[in-house]
Structure 1
Amino acid sequence: MQDTQISLVQASFAKVVPIADTAAGLFYADLFETAPEVKPYFRGTDITEQGKKLMMTLGTVVNGLHNLDAIVPVAEQLAIRHVAYGVQAEDYAKVGASRLRTLNKGLGDAFPPEVEAAWTAAYTTLSGVMIAAAYPTETQTAD
């Protein structure tokens, strides 16, 4: 990722922080509407608490984008844990699309195309690392 992209992601996320609970609610509502097949992964989960965890994790990742070497191992471990919930490699694209729609809805005019492109780059980078860690056989055969 370029420094400019990292700055755009961090600046836009700073605008999300004050509305974190609302943003998390928007995200899960969008995800469950557009990808209902992922809802069973959250069975028995307090979605409000899950939203708080999501926003805390996202904050850690966003703040660590200048130091990917530090956040990549954490992201890899998170991805490996998600396999136990039934998460599939193709679910990452669904989550990424919901994240972009949520940011667009929550930030409105403060989410222009260059900010969307920066978020896409960040998510593509991290989801690629996570997929490779969680599904090493699939990524090896895809090469």
Structure 2
Amino acid sequence: MLDLTDTEKDCIRVSWSKVISAPQTGADLFYGRLFEESPETRKLFKSDMASQGLKLMQTINAVVDNLDEDLSETVLQLGTRHQGYDVMEEDYAKVGAALIWMLDAMAGSDFDQSTQDAWGKAYGQICTVMLRGYA
């Protein structure tokens, strides 16, 4: 599903290892940034944020763990569910910005420009598939 080079996959894995070692911190940073920059997105989250943060970290971790697998069907279904949560297409860019910010904050020197580019590429491809689930 993801058209990434081995180098891009390595960049993603190394930077993610810094986040997944402290998943609650990552989730708190991510949602803090998202709600600070895009407060209108807060209404999309109806469950308790601790469990929501855990779900987010588990989902990203599953993708990172399976970068070499075809996750198209799973990601398509995830998109269908997000449409049911009233997530709009323009919300994906807001989430992407918060994700990149959180990764940069947590990965430190392991989040250089090539790593940011790899995450941006992967996230863009995932969003494309998720939005197909809106059909």
> How does 1:30-45 map onto structure 2 within 5 Å?
30-43=33-46, 45=47
Give CA-to-partner distance per residue, 1:75-123, whole Å, 9 cap, x none. 1101101111110011111101110011111122221111111111110
* Matching residue of 2:18: 15
* Matching residue of 1:140: none
> With structure 1 as the length reference, what TM-score do the two structures score?
0.88
Unpaired runs of at least 5, structure 2: none
2:82 is the counterpart of 1:79:
no
Give the residue type in structure 1 aligned to 2:55. Answer: K
Structure 1 or 2, whichever has the larger Rg, is 1
Sequence identity, in percent? Answer: 38
Unpaired runs of at least 5, structure 1: 137-143
d(CA) in 1 for partners of 2:90 and 2:6? 28
d(CA) in 1 for partners of 2:21 and 2:66? 19
More helix by share: 1
Greater RCO (CA < 8 Å, at least 6 residues apart): 2
Q: Is the 8 A contact 2:16 2:107 kept in 1?
A: no
Runs of 4+ with >4 A deviation:
none
> With structure 2 as the length reference, what TM-score do the two structures score?
0.93
Q: Is the 8 A contact 2:103 2:111 kept in 1?
A: yes
